[in-house]
Each structure stands twice: as C-alpha cells, then as structure tokens.
Amino acid sequence: MEVGAGVRRFGSRYINLYLIEEGGRLTLLDAGLPGYWRALLGELEAIGRRLEDIDAVLLTHSHADHRGIAERVRIASGATVYAHALELPALTDMTEGGMPPFFKQGFRPFIYRFVAHSVRNGVARRVPVAALTAFADGEIVDVPGKPRVIHVPGHTSGSCALHLEQRGVVFTGDALSTIDLLTGRAGPALPPDFVNESSADAMESLTRLEGLPAQTVLTGHGEPWTGSVRSAVEIARAAVFARGVTRSAVSGTARPN
C-alpha cells in the first residue's frame, strides 16, 4: 500500500515494513520477522520489482521484530544493511533476541495475539547479519530516498528515525508508535516501559522528532499518521502521563489536583 510519495507499507497488522523507491531502485526500511519473506516477495511483485532492485536495508534498531529478513535480503540482493553503531553488536552476535516479557503484564488479549503472531513468524530465530554498515546521527545516507538519520535513544541505545526531507515523511521505528502495544488502542504512543532500555531517554528523544517538517509519520507498529509530527508527539506524551496517573491511582498514591 502506498503511504507516501514513493513509499509503500507492508507486513502485518502488528509490524510494519516499508519500501522506498527512487529511480527504479529500492530501500527496505526495517525487516520485520523471519516469516515476512513471502510478504516482501509479494510486495515486490505487486510493484513490478525484483529482489535485485533492493540496494539497501535500513534498520531503525536491532529488535527481533525489525531485523528478521535483513540477512536473507542481503544475501539474495547484495543490498547493504545499515544501522546505528550502537546496534551492531546485537545484530551480529545475537546477544539479544526473542520477545520481551509480555506475559508478565497480565492477561491482555492484544499482547497474546501479538506474541502468537510473532512466534508463528519465527521471532525466536536468531539470524545474525554478517555484514553491516554503521550510519550516524545527522548523516544523509546515500541510498534510494536519501534519508537523514536522527538518533532517538530510549527504546534502544541506538534507535534511529529516518527522515525523507524532500518527501515530508519520517520513519520513527519504535521511538514513536501509532498503537498502544499493551492494549491495541490506536493513536500515537510510546512503547511500554518494559520494552525500553530507558523510558526517560525515550521521552526526551521525542523533542528531536516534534519539530520535523513532515506530514506523514510512519511507525514500526500502527497505522500511518497524517498530520504534524508535533501533534503526534503531544498525544504520545499525554498518553504516557495518563498511564502514569492511572498506575498511581491503582496503587493508592495518586494526588488530588
């Protein structure tokens, strides 16, 4: 599905991947789960492209639901795989992987469906990426789409957003979602604390996103957001505050206004 100028979204209702087209060449942005290989082939067929047309794979971070087919694409297409330097160890030696402790969050139907989908699509398979190139904050990566890198630590230390400045599109990875990963409720949100390396840093990183001149926000999870980045960030911040107030109320520590 086309979601921006020369940008297509595919994957599943739980996890997004994107293809960026420029001059007949492609960049794959994020690599989903290992089981998404057929989804990629189907998307390429739909637009009349082949694996060999993929020049690059850009990973917003190293988590298992974003790296799944990266190595397979690299081998099949000869594409260069890029990520922030802080993410490279987890991508090459598989020191991290699998799913976060979702089940410790109590019975939540959306979580159970998300985990079941991930297991069916090979989330536990650890396939290291044998060759990687690091990108850096502020760099314009010389790949189709020419995205600018924005380092947004918090979800992971090397999490990055990618901004297509000429197209008004920003890919936020998991620095900003458009679905609550606990409840499945639609709308801008930060990932829950238990999947972040530092939720405080994740909140701080929103300031790096909110002023971007983009009209389309494309996330790792959830539907495209059409509108200002600032409005999405403001809603996500409010949701974090509301979540904290709710927890305090449940524990009996909430303060009256």
Q: Domain 2-251, what architecture?
A: 4-Layer Sandwich (3.60)
Q: Which residue has the higher pLDDT, 107 or 22?
A: 22
Write down the pLDDT at residue 94. 67
Contact (Cβ atoms closer than 8 angstroms) between residue 182 and residue 228? no
Q: Domain coordinates of the chain in residue numbers?
A: 2-251
Asked if 77 and 52 count as a contact pair (C-beta separation under 8 A), the reply is: yes
Q: pLDDT grade, residue 98 (50/70/90)? A: very low
**pTM of the full structure:** 0.91
Q: How confident is the model at residue 194 (pLDDT cuts 50, 70, 90)?
A: confident
Structure tokens at 151: 């380092």
Query: For the chain, what is the mean pLDDT?
Result: 91
pLDDT of residue 241: 84
| Tokens representing residue 224 in the block | 């495209």
Q: Flag whether pLDDT at 255 surpasses 90.
A: no
pLDDT for position 104: 53
Q: Alpha helices, DSSP H only, in 126-228?
A: 199-209
All residues at 6 or more sequence positions from 19 whose CB lies less than 8 Å from its CB, including other chains: 7, 8, 10, 26, 27, 28, 29, 43, 44, 47
CB 165 within 8 A of CB 175: no
Q: Taking a C-beta distance cutoff of 8 angstroms, is the pair 60, 160 a contact?
A: yes
Could you tell me the pLDDT band of residue 8, with boundaries at 50, 70 and 90? very high
CA 156, distance to chain mean position in Å, is: 11
Residue 3 three-state SS:
strand
At 112 the pLDDT is: 87
Give mean pLDDT, residues 211-235: 97
Model confidence over 113-169: pLDDT tens digits? 999 999 999 998 888 999 999 999 999 999 999 999 999 999 999 999 999 999 999
Of 257 and 47, more confident: 47
Q: Please compute the mean of the pLDDT values over residues 204-230 and round it to a whole number.
A: 97
18-52 burial string, b = 16+ CB within 10 Å, else e? bbbbeeebbbbbbbbbbbbbebbeebbeeeebebe
Among 95-104, 134-143, 167-176, the minimum mean pLDDT is found in 95-104
